[in-house]
Amino acid sequence: QVQLKESGPGLVQPSQTLSLTCTVSGFSLTSYSVHWVRQHSGKSLEWMGRMWSDGDTSYNSAFTSRLSISRDTSKSQVFLKMNSLQTEDTGTYYCARTYYGYNYFDYWGQGVMVTVSS
Amino acid sequence: DIQMTQSPHSLSASLGETVSIECLASEGISNYLAWYQQKPGKSPQLLIYYASSLQDGVPSRFSGSGSGTQYSLKISNMQPEDEGVYYCQQGYKYPWTFGGGTKLELK
């Protein structure tokens, strides 16, 4: 059965780097893309970036130079690293899956809440 | 970026009522439009993709329509489990963007 699960620190200090892991099961990272989507509390959703099935990446220009997405296919994990965190980066971070050529998310992780505060 | 504008911001419906939620894109998105339902404390769940295709396992009382820049989600025969926030999402051009959400409550 398809599962995605985010993990990472719940609290990050301002100006520090956020590191999150999305561990997937039930499908292969070489067949599906994994995306990161952020949601500020009580607000809408914001697409951050994508790890394609071939290992390429795409990013939302709103996060350019701060965001990096990588993966370890042997561990079925996709990683998010974002530096220079500010309080406005507080929110819930989700990883979600799309199939190649399909432009919608069919499975989502449960999300991980991240608070940026000193 | 393509802006997605949802309306209304919130609405309430009685049991069995039919409701519609609208989503307006700032430019044509060629039916690359998905709808999601999110319940409190949960992740979004896919309802509709490519504007009108029903995701497996989603009740048939949910339907989507539209073209060009205007799309809508219709929920027929409102049920208690339909309460939640609904989002539209365009997958036509990067960055993919979402609407602001519509909160649906049972009256």
A70-102 in b/e burial notation, b at 16+ Cβ within 10 A? ebeeeebbbbbebeebeeebbbbbbbbbbeeeb
Closest-CA distance of chain A to residue B36, Å = 9
Q: Using H for helix, E for strand and C for coil, what is the string for chain A? A: CCEEEEECCCEECCCCCEEEEEEEECCCCCCEEEEEEEECCCCCEEEEEEECCCCCEEECHHHCCCEEEEEEHHHCEEEEEECCCCHHHCEEEEEEEEECCCCCCCEECCCEEEEECC
Q: How confident is the model at residue A54 (pLDDT cuts 50, 70, 90)?
A: very high
Tens-digit pLDDT string for chain B (107 aa): 999 999 999 999 999 999 999 999 999 999 999 999 999 999 999 999 999 999 999 999 999 999 999 999 999 999 999 999 999 999 999 999 999 999 999 99
CA distance B33 to B91: 6
Chain B CA closest to residue A93: B43
**Which of B80, B70, B24, B31 lies closest to B51, judged by CA?**
B31
CA-only gyration radius of chain B, Å: 13
Contact A105 B34 (CB under 8 A): yes
Q: What Cα–Cα distance (Å) separates residue B66 from each residue in A73, B82, B106? A: 39, 21, 25
Residue holding tokens 């649906």? B104
CB A21 within 8 A of CB A8: yes
- Sort out which chain B residues have CB atoms less than 8 A from A64's CB and list them: none
Q: Identify the pLDDT of residue A42.
A: 82
- Sort out which chain A residues have CB atoms less than 8 A from B86's CB and list them: none
Q: Identify the pLDDT of residue A100.
A: 84
The DSSP H or E segment spanning B91 is none
Contact B89 A109 (CB under 8 A): no
- pLDDT, average across residues A56-65: 92
Residue holding tokens 């029903």? B54
Contact A105 B101 (CB under 8 A): no
Q: How confident is the model at residue A64 (pLDDT cuts 50, 70, 90)?
A: confident
Q: How confident is the model at residue A30 (pLDDT cuts 50, 70, 90)?
A: very high
- Sort out which chain B residues have CB atoms less than 8 A from A103's CB and list them: 32, 34, 91-92, 96
Q: Identify the pLDDT of residue B104.
A: 98
- pLDDT, average across residues A81-96: 97
Nearest to B100 among A44, A108, A110 (CB): A44
